[in-house]
Structure 1
Amino acid sequence: MSELVASVIATIVTIPLLGWYIIYITTVKISKNKSKSIRRASDWTTLLFMVAVYFIMSEIWSQSFLWIILAIFFFISLVVTWMQWSVSGDIQTKKLFRGIWRFNFLAFVIIYLLLSGYGLIVRIFS
């Protein structure tokens, strides 16, 4: 039983799109609201995409790039904070953290897809 749980967790971390889809389907069945379900699934799987990007980068280049992932996260945080401050003149922390988290989701999904494609191409031709 513990091997099954470990396999499911490893699959979801390795393929975060599957984790996103599972959370999306589950929340749609519970809430009957598709737009809220998309946001919830995105919020809950942001960390999965960050971990997946870390493992893909370490697999492709055989070294740790945790500092790059943290730098991307903090850079996005700075940009979103500056944007909210320049637009509204005030910083609303709940709205700020939600914006940072969702923008990081978008950035890491794009990075995940690009690195997955790059990794496939590199493995095919080497």
Structure 2
Amino acid sequence: MTELVAFVIATIVTIPLLGWYMIYITSVKISKNKSKSMRRASDWTTLLFMIAVYFIMIEIWAQSFLWIILAIFFFIALVVTWIQWRVSGDIQTIKLFKGIWRFNFLTFVIIYVLLSGYGLLARIFS
């Protein structure tokens, strides 16, 4: 049983799109609200995409780039905070954290897709 749980967790971490889809489908079945389910799945899998990007970078270049991932995360936090301050003149913490987290989701999904494609092509042509 523990091997099955370990297999499922390892699969979800290495293929976060599968984790996103599983959370989305489960949430749609429970809430019957597709847009809310999409946001919920995105919120829950942001960390999975960050971890997947980290491990893909290790696999492609054989070294850790954790500092780049953290720099991207904090840069996005800085930019989103600045934008919210300029637009509304006040910082609303809950709205700010949601914006940071969701923008990080979009960023790391794009990075995940680009790195997966690059890694696949690099392995094919090397």
What is the Cα deviation at residue 95 of structure 1? 0.2
Counterpart position of 1:41: 41
In the alignment, the residues of structure 1 paired with residue 37 and residue 98 of structure 2 have an alpha-carbon distance, to the nearest angstrom, of: 15
Aligned position for 2:24: 24
TM-score, normalised with respect to structure 1: 1.00
SS of aligned partner of 1:38: helix
State how far apart, in whole Å, the 2-side matches of 1:93 and 1:28 are. 28
Cα deviation 1:61-81 (Å, max 9, x = unaligned): 000000000000000000000
- The residue number in structure 2 matching 1:68 is 68
Match of 1:96 in 2: 96
Shift of 1:58: 0.4
Q: CA deviation at 1:17?
A: 0.2
Q: What is the TM-score when the length of structure 2 is the normalising length? A: 1.00
Equivalent pairs, count:
126
Partner SS, residue 58 of structure 1: helix
Following TM superposition, the consecutive aligned residue runs of length 4 or more in structure 1 with deviations greater than 6 angstroms are: none
Counterpart position of 1:58: 58
Give the % identical residues. 87
Q: Give the alignment's Cα RMSD to 1 decimal.
A: 0.2
Give the structure 1 partner of residue 8 of structure 2.
8
Q: Which residue does 2:118 correspond to in 1?
A: 118
Name the SS for the 1:94 alignment partner: helix
Structure 1 SS opposite 2:109: helix
Unaligned runs of 5+ in 2: none
Q: Where in structure 1 are there 5+ consecutive unaligned residues?
A: none
Q: CA deviation at 1:97?
A: 0.2
Structure 1 residue 46: Cα displacement: 0.1
